[in-house]
Chain A
Amino acid sequence: MAEKVEIPVQKWSGRVREVTFGATKDEGGSRSRTVTVGGEATLPFLHFEGEIPHPPRVAIEIQDKKPEEWSPLLIKVWEEVIDDPAAWAKRAEERGADLILLRLSLDDAQGEENTPEKAKSAVRKVLSATSLPLLVFGPGQVDKDNELLVAVAEEAAGERVVLGVCEEKNYRTIVAAALAHGHLVDSRTPMDVNLAKQLIILIHDMGLPLDRILMDPSTGALGYGIEYGYSVMERLRLAALQGDTMTQQPILVTPGEEAWRAKEAKVGEGVPEAWGDWEERAIMWETMTSTALIEAGADVVVMRHPESVRLVKEAIDKLWMKEG
C-alpha cells in the first residue's frame, strides 16, 4: 500500500520585489510590451510552496560592432547580422530573446573611439528594430561607461532601459542618469553576499527606487567557479525570503559571457579529442551554466548562442509547469 507523504511547506516572511523592464507607448516608451520579473515568495520552481508570478527570462547579448574576440562559433551563428546591431537585435528577437542586451564597445568597427553620438545612434537603431525591452551595458571602462551611458540614458528617456554596470567604484554617474531619465540599473558585485547587499543600499541611498534595481552578484562558468556564484545567489535569495529587505532584488547574471570565456566553449583546437564535438560541447557549456544559475534563483540570464537559448527556454518551460 502506498504511504501518503506530506510534503513539508516552508512559510517565508519575505518576497522578492517585482521589476519591470521597458515601457509601452502609454507608459512613455515605445515597447510593444513590458517584461516583469521577480515577485517570488519561495525558492525557484517550488510552486507548491509559494507564489512565483513570473518565469525567469532570457536576454540575448548583442554588440554595437562585430565582437572579434568572441568564439568563432558565435561569430558564425550570427554571421549575417553581426555587423549591424539593428539586424542583430531583430534576429535575436526571432530566436527567442525575451530581452535584448546591447553591449557598447570601446572602439567602433573602424577602430575609432566610441562616442556618445555613436552610442546614441546604436541604441536608437536597436530600439527601432525590436520592440523588446532593452538593457545597455558599457564597455567596462569607468570613464567610457559613464560618458556613453549618460548619453544613452538621454537618448532612450522613458524606455525603462537597464543601464549597466554599476560597481562599487563606479555607480554614481550611472544611477544619476537612470534617475534623470526613468531607467533601471544593474548592480554588480564580485561574488560576495555582503558586497551585493551594500551596493544595493548605496544605490538606493541616491534615491533610485528599489523596483528599478537589479542585483547582479556575478558568476563563474561551469568548471570555473560556478559553485561560488551559485552559493552566493542561493544565500541572497534565502535572505530575501527571510525578510532581509536590501537583498530582495531580482537577480540578473551573465552566464553567456562566462561560459564562452571557458576554454571548453571558446576553442575547438588543441583540446583532447575525447571532449567530442566542439559546437555541441560549447552550446551545452552555456546551457548548463545558465540552467544551474536559474535553479539558484536567477531571474534574468544573459546569453549568447541561439541554440543554448532555445535549450534553456525549453528547460524553463518544463520547470515552470505547475502540478494539477
Chain B
Amino acid sequence: MIGIDTIIQGVLLGGLYALFASGLSLIFGIMRLVNLAHGDLIVFAGYLILVGVSVFGLNPFLSALIAAPLMFGVGWVLQLAVLNRVLGHNILPPLLVTFGLSVILQNLLLETFSADSQRIPVGVLETASVDIGVTSLGLLPLLTFGSAIAVILILNWIFYRTALGRAFRAVSDDPTTASLMGIKPNRIFALATGLALVIVTIAALYLGMRANFDPTTGPARLLYAFEAVIIGGLGNLWGTLIGGMIIGVSQTVGAALNPEWQILAGHVAFLIVLLIRPRGLMPKQ
C-alpha cells in the first residue's frame, strides 16, 4: 500500500542521495572532472568513521567530526599529487585515473576490512522517531535530510557570497585569467576536492548508519549521485536535491509495490526524466 509515509520516506531518502551527489557536483562544476571514485571515497570515509566508533569507542557523530578534516587532507593531497596532473582539455585521462583509484580503493578496503558487510552502530537513534500526526518519521532520516539542506545552504553561501566562491567560479570559467587575478588554480582545485571530501564524510556517516556497506558498495552510490545530479540539472544544487528526492520517492514507491522493484524504479524514473527533460529539471542557463 502506498501511503503518505511511503512518499515521505522517499523524500527523506532523497536527502541522502543529495549528499552523495553534492561532492560529485562540486568537483565537476569547478574542474570538469568526473570523479569515478566518488562512491568508493564515500565507502572509504564510512570505514574511517567505523574505525573511530568500533576501535576507539567514539560516538558516530564525533567520529565523523574527526574523519572530516582527515578526508579534507586526503582530497587536498589527492588533487595536488594526482588529479591536477591529468586535468586538461582531454577528459579521458581524469576518467581513467579516477577509475583506477576506484579499483585501488575497493581492493585496499577488501584487504583491510574483509568483504563482510559493516554498519555504523547508532544505538537508540536507529529506532527513534518523531510523531507528526499522519505518520511518524524516523529521527535518522530527518537528520539526514536536514544535513543535506544545511550542506546545500552552506555550499551556496560559499559559492555566491565569499571570495573563495568567486575564486571557484573564476577558475571554473578561465584558469589562465584567474591566475592573472593572483589566484593559484591548482590550490583552488585542491581546496575544492578537500571540501568535496568533507561532504563525502557527511554522506558516509548517514549511509553507514542507515544501511550495511562493504568494500564494493561504492559504485552503486556513485550511480545514484550521478542520477541525482543529472535529473536536477548540472550546476544547480537545489536541483540535485530535487533529483535525489525523485529517485528516493521512486525507490520507496517501487518497493511498496513490489520489493524487487525498489532499485529498478529509481533508474526508470531517471530515464523518464532524461526523456522528457534531457538537460535536467533545473538546468543552469
Q: Do these two chains interact? A: no
- B residues sitting closer than 8 Å to A (CB atoms) are none
